[in-house]
Amino acid sequence: MPIVVNLDVMMAKRKMSLNELSEKVGLTLSNLSILKTGKAKAIRFSTLEAICKVLDCQPADILEYVES
């Protein structure tokens, strides 16, 4: 898949656990885990916005296109 999810990198930079992010964003731990591992097929803009707000970052900090 040419879209790479760097959520774990941003969480490490902000020293935030998956549990803490889950609580602050309002998503279940399992849904965030699916996103973090790159197994998600889609993401809602509202979810991406909430994650960016909590992690104080831009969408490009989380999602990256890598040519295969």
Structural domain range at position 27: 3-65
From first CA to last CA, the distance across the chain in angstroms is 8
**Is residue 55 a contact partner of residue 24, using CB atoms and an 8 Å limit?**
no
d(CA 61, CA 68): 20
d(CA 68, CA 8): 21
Q: For residues 8-25, give the mean pLDDT.
A: 96
Residue 58 has pLDDT above 80, yes or no: yes
Q: What is the pLDDT of residue 39?
A: 93
Phi-psi region of 28 (alpha: psi -120 to 50; beta: other; left: phi over 0): beta
Q: Quote the pTM value.
A: 0.91
Domain count, the chain: 1
The CATH number for 12's domain is 1.10.260.40
